[in-house]
Amino acid sequence: MPEFPEIHAHARRLEASLRGTVLQRFEPLSFTALKTFAPPPEQAHGAPLQQVTDRGKHLLLAFGEVTFVVHLMQGGRLKPDTSKAKRPRNGVARWHFADGRRLLLTEAGTERKAGVWVVAGDPLTQEPLADLGTNADQVGADELADLLAAGSRRLHTFLRDQRALAGVGRRLANEVCHRAKLSPFVQTNRLDAAQVGRLHAALTGAIADGLAAEEGRDDMSASKDRPSQVHGRTGEQCPVCGDEVREVTYNRYTVNYCATCQTGGRILADNALSRLGVDQEDWGRGRRQR
Ligand SMILES: [Zn+2]
């Protein structure tokens, strides 16, 4: 899934290409494309694209008083439509511009979760953006410390919670935990000041690296081309210590980590108990909670 660096760089790219171009019409291509009933997308017809911004994992296309909020989800892409197809493959929605260009939202696969919200007024105070936490690139060290201390949650789960921090997905969560030399399953309210400091530096660094990689590109990268030291690298060597990168399944998602760097050498077992709703031992500190 595209995360903050990919989305942010893509917003800049789209704005550079299309700013000032008048929208002729918006065309939903699937039943699930449009997530809102009012205002109608037609309200943006005839208005120029003023800016393209981003919030968390969302792209915001502002036409006058109306903003289209786009969520790409897992396999979505928003890019120039170069086909002449009336019903483009995997098409979700299309923006037709007065100069003849078109922007096409596609979603690969069968999930059909990518979509478009049309909002009037300030989009940041409305669905689907209203409940998002601070953008991950903007969070300060003190704010991060407060967020971590506010609850008892697994670090990896916390990092991916869009209401805590917006813009972090599985790749960044894996990379941030590895950079910070913290177990993905350490409980957030048990982190000490030094660990929180490492975490903040890791978050900032991983986002900066992601942006640097993404900003030099003509189009959004594929998942496999994004910078990673452990994410998606099961069985490869950890570039820091040479140990093997491992994976563990937790609550139906796969987490990559390096045991030497992050868990004091402890190899994590797939969390069978989580399927029964039972919390498991705190692997990160090697001690049991109960
Ligand atoms: Zn390592």
Would you give the DSSP letter of residue 57?
T
pLDDT one-digit tens code per residue, 220-238: 998 889 999 999 999 999 9
Answer yes or no: are the C-beta atoms of 118 and 66 closer than 8 Å: yes
The SS3 of residue 281 is coil
Q: Give the model's pLDDT for residue 271.
A: 66
- DSSP one-letter string for 161-192: -TTTEES--HHHHHHHHHHTT--TTSBGGG--
User: Any long-range contacts for 32-36 (C-beta under 8 Å, 24+ apart)?
Assistant: 32/92, 32/112, 32/113, 32/115, 33/92, 33/93, 33/105, 33/115, 33/116, 34/93, 34/115, 34/116, 34/118, 35/115, 35/116, 35/117, 35/128, 36/117, 36/118, 36/119, 36/127
pLDDT one-digit tens code per residue, 161-209: 999 999 999 999 999 999 999 999 999 999 999 999 999 999 999 999 9
Distance 113 CA to ligand 1 centre (A): 35
The three state secondary structure string of 72-118 is: CCCCEEEEECCCCCCCCCCEEEEEEECCCCEEEEEECCCCCCCEEEE
pLDDT one-digit tens code per residue, 30-49: 988 999 999 999 999 999 99
pLDDT one-digit tens code per residue, 264-287: 999 988 765 444 443 444 333 333
Most confident of 105-109, 161-165, 250-254: 161-165
Mean confidence (pLDDT) of the chain: 91
Answer yes or no: are the C-beta atoms of 242 and 227 closer than 8 Å: no
Q: Give the model's pLDDT for residue 276.
A: 44
140: tokens are 């300060």
- Quick one: what percent of the chain has pLDDT higher than 90? 81
pLDDT of residue 288 exceeding 50, the answer is: no
Per the DSSP assignment, residues forming a β-bridge with 91 are: 106
pLDDT one-digit tens code per residue, 235-251: 999 999 999 999 999 87
Q: Give the model's pLDDT for residue 121.
A: 95
Q: Please give the average per-residue pLDDT across 112-126, as a whole number.
A: 94
Q: Please give the average per-residue pLDDT across 114-123, as a whole number.
A: 96
Distance 237 CA to ligand 1 centre (A): 8
Q: For the chain, where are the alpha helices, taking DSSP H only?
A: 4-18, 141-149, 155-160, 170-179, 193-215, 259-262
Q: Give the model's pLDDT for residue 112.
A: 78
Distance 94 CA to ligand 1 centre (A): 45
Distance 241 CA to ligand 1 centre (A): 4
Q: Give the model's pLDDT for residue 273.
A: 46
- Please give the model's pTM, rounded to 2 decimal places: 0.90
Answer yes or no: are the C-beta atoms of 69 and 143 closer than 8 Å: no
Distance 157 CA to ligand 1 centre (A): 21
Distance 258 CA to ligand 1 centre (A): 5
Residue type for position 227:
P
* pLDDT tier at 84, thresholds 50, 70, 90: confident
Among 76-85, 134-143, 246-255, 276-285, whose mean pLDDT is lowest? 276-285
Distance 191 CA to ligand 1 centre (A): 20
